Amino acid sequence: MLKPKYRRVILKLSGEALAGQRGFGLDPQVIKNIAHEVKEVHDLGVEVGIVVGGGNIWRGIAGSAMGIDRATADYMGMLATVINSLALQGALENAGVDTRVQTAIDMRSVAEPYIRRRAIRHLEKERVVIFAAGTGNPYFSTDTTAALRAAEIEAEVILMAKRVDGVYDSDPLQNPEAKKITELAFSDVLNQELGVMDSTAASLCRDNNIPLVVFGLSTPGNIRRAVMGESIGTFVGGEANGNRID
C-alpha cells in the first residue's frame, strides 16, 4: 500500500464550500461528504488540521460596506467560522473521527481555546483539530489563519479546497478560454495577483516554506489524492521557474 506524501496537513475549506449549490448557509450532505473524505485521509494515518471560512454565513467586508464598523464586521465573520466548525465537528464525529474545535476567541462553553501545544498533542493522539474564529484579530482572512496555523503546528502542506480545480490565468467561471496553471512559485502568486490567497497569507507561506496544493473540492476523492501527492490542481511553492500551464 502506498504511503501518503504528507504526514501533517492543514485543510483550508471556504465557507462557500459548505453551502453547496445553495450558495448560503449549510448543506448537510456536502458537510457529510467532506467528513467522509477527511476520515479517509485520517485513516491513512495523516494528522489533519482544518481551517474553515465563514463566507456562507457572513463576510466582514460586506458588513463593512453596509456601514458596520470593519472590526465589528470581522468579529461577526469569526463567529460564523465557529458555526461552520461545530457543524463539521458533528459530521466528523458521526463518521467516527475524534475531533476538537479550538477557537482564537475565548468561548470555553463552546470549544477549547487555541493553544499551540495542545493542538499538536491532539494531532499526535490522532484527533482532527478544527481551528475556528480566524486569528482572533480583525483585518486578517482565514487564508492567513491557515498559513499561520500551518507554520505553528509545522504542517507540511496546506490543501486549499476550492470550487474550481486549480489556479487559472483568468477566472474560468467567466472566461471559458482560461488556462489552468499546474505549478507556481509564491513570487508568481504575489507579483501576478492570481487570487490564490491574500498577500499576507502568501508571504507567510513563502517565508516559512509551506507549499500549497490548490484543487477542486467537488471531485470525490480529491483530498486523498492531494495527500498522496498525486498531480491534481495547482502546486504552489519553491522559486519561480516560469508558470507551467496545461
85 assigned to some structural domain: yes
- Rounded CA-CA distance 112/39 in Å is 22
Torsion of CA 127, 88, 43, 116, to 10 degrees: -30
224 assigned to some structural domain: yes
3 assigned to some structural domain: no
CATH of the domain at 119: 3.40.1160.10
The pTM assigned to this predicted structure is 0.93
Dig out the grid coordinates for 148 from the structure. Answer: 499561520
Task: Give 244's pLDDT tier (boundaries 50, 70, 90).
Answer: low
Cβ 162 vs Cβ 217: under 8 Å: yes
- Rounded CA-CA distance 34/95 in Å is 11
pLDDT of residue 8: 98
pLDDT digits (tens, 9 = 90+) for 190-215: 888 777 888 999 999 999 999 999 99
Q: Classify strands 244-245 and 180-184 as parallel, antiparallel or unpaired.
A: antiparallel
Q: Which of 107-116, 153-162, 231-240 has the lowest mean pLDDT?
A: 231-240
Average pLDDT over residues 107-112: 96
pLDDT greater than 70 at residue 81: yes
pLDDT digits (tens, 9 = 90+) for 141-188: 999 999 999 999 999 999 999 888 888 888 887 888 888 899 999 988
112 assigned to some structural domain: yes
User: What percent of the chain has pLDDT above 70?
Assistant: 95
Average pLDDT over residues 102-119: 97
* Range of the structural domain that residue 163 is part of: 8-245
pLDDT greater than 50 at residue 240: no
SS3 category, 13: strand
Number of domains observed in the structure of the chain = 1
64 assigned to some structural domain: yes
- Rounded CA-CA distance 212/229 in Å is 12
CA distances from 210 to 79, 90, 106, 152, 225 (A): 27, 29, 28, 11, 18
- Rounded CA-CA distance 246/233 in Å is 10
User: What percent of the chain has pLDDT above 90?
Assistant: 74
228 assigned to some structural domain: yes
- Rounded CA-CA distance 19/28 in Å is 9
Task: Give 80's pLDDT tier (boundaries 50, 70, 90).
Answer: very high
196 assigned to some structural domain: yes
